[in-house]
Amino acid sequence: MNTREKKWKKLVCGLAFVLAACMNASVGWTAADMISRETAAAVQMEEDTVLVGGMPIGIYMETDGVLVLDTQEVTGMDGQVYEPAHNLVKAGDYIVGINDAQITDKEELIQSVSHLETKEVVLNIRRNTDRIDVKLDAVESEPGKYKLGIWVKDNIQGLGTITFLNENSEFGALGHGIHDTDTGVLLNIAGGKVYKTSIRSVIKGQNGVPGSLEGLIVYNHYNRLGNITKNTETGIYGELEDLQTLFKEQIAVQVADMEEVKKGPAMIRCYIQNEVKEYEVQILEVNVSAHESNKGIVLQVTDEELLKETGGIVQGMSGSPILQNGKLVGAVTHVFVNDPTKGYGIFAEIMINETAD
């Protein structure tokens, strides 16, 4: 490793709502202010090399439509209990319109429901890849005030680790997709941002209880680093606008083909004790045809320092680069709940290919 060259956010129609966090985050306002852009093209890199990551990032993503979490009973003016959306709207649906008027976020949904003049409602729904119209009768809970009895959210925040940056300033992170914690579905996003984050503490992992990195994220334009364009099963992807904040130490490495990854010693890069360092691991299994693309590698933390600080792999370390023989071979994706010293990884080649699509 020492011989490498250095270079780079209840009820709708209450309508209160649930704002769920992916992990640990502090909510703030985003802004569209421009940040000066510095591309990775300024770094002398070969075609098959990337800048290796390991740094923590704050994540904010907006859903493409308003995500349905569940339905709920509503009490009408007559004192009767109704559940107007039951068996009509499903968890995982996205509300994209109401009475053929486009809906992009929960505020628009709240406003549309607050202006209903009749109980008859047609929700325009995206369910998987299908567009359907769902007719239901809203419940008048107070004179002129209607409720649909649907729990929704339209954004998610959290913390993860950046894996790499290519010569076009395109990054890959996490190594797995961000799924809604209530429905379990992969989030369809309209876009998102990445932010600087400050790691305040580490909750050490124990058998049966995964640990986590505890961080503070302030969502404003001063801390914004770039944009998220894709949320896939293999990670989140986008472009950085601020290169130097994350990649102060610009380490360029080659990307290994899947067939190059072998059982045996390797390193992971992650942010512990206020710095990015490399820690020893052992690659225990390599499966290039794994059913789940983000579980092709099985690894075990062997580094005594990392074991002392974290107990092994903790939440927030997803995306930590895995290096072997001086090359980027993968990224950490999951922890074994019953043995936090072990976890899964995804092949770097899969993540790199995602940036080309």
Q: Say if residue 51 is preceded by a cis peptide, omega within 30 of 0.
A: no
Active-site pick, 212, 293, 318, 320: 318
The span from the CA of 269 to the CA of 136, in Å, is 52
Task: Name the residue with tokens 């769920």.
Answer: 20
pLDDT score, position 46: 64
pLDDT score, position 254: 97
pLDDT score, position 44: 56
- Cα dihedral across residues 85, 86, 89, 95: positive or negative: positive
Assess whether 318 carries a catalytic annotation.
yes
Q: Which tokens sit at 60? A: 């904010």
Domain 65-153 class? mainly beta
- The candidate with the shortest Cα–Cα distance to 231, out of 270, 268, 197, 180, is 180
pLDDT score, position 43: 52
pLDDT score, position 20: 30
Assess whether 114 carries a catalytic annotation.
no
Active-site pick, 105, 137, 257, 303: 303
pLDDT score, position 19: 27
Per-residue pLDDT reduced to its tens digit, 109-125: 999 998 888 899 999 99
pLDDT score, position 215: 87
pLDDT score, position 307: 96
Assess whether 289 carries a catalytic annotation.
no
Kindly list the domain boundaries of the chain, sorted by start residue.
Answer: 65-153
64, 65, 92 from 150: Cα distances, Å: 17, 14, 12
pLDDT score, position 249: 84
Per-residue pLDDT reduced to its tens digit, 47-61: 689 999 999 999 999
Q: Which tokens sit at 318? A: 């997803």
pLDDT score, position 11: 34
Determine phi and psi for 192, rounding to 5 degrees: -175, 180
- 147-177 core/surface letters (b: 16 or more CB in 10 A; e: else): bbbbbbbbbbbbbbbbbbbbbebbbbbbbbb
Please give the full DSSP string across 108-175, using - where no structure is assigned. Answer: HHHHHHHT-SSSEEEEEEEETTEEEEEEEE-EEEETTEEE--EEEEEEEEEEEEEEEE-TTSEEEESS
68, 226, 338 from 65: Cα distances, Å: 9, 22, 36
Active-site pick, 154, 169, 176, 320: 176
Binned average pLDDT, 10 residues per bin, the chain of 357 residues: 38 31 29 35 66 96 95 93 95 95 94 89 95 95 91 92 95 95 88 93 88 88 94 97 88 96 98 93 97 96 96 96 98 95 97 89
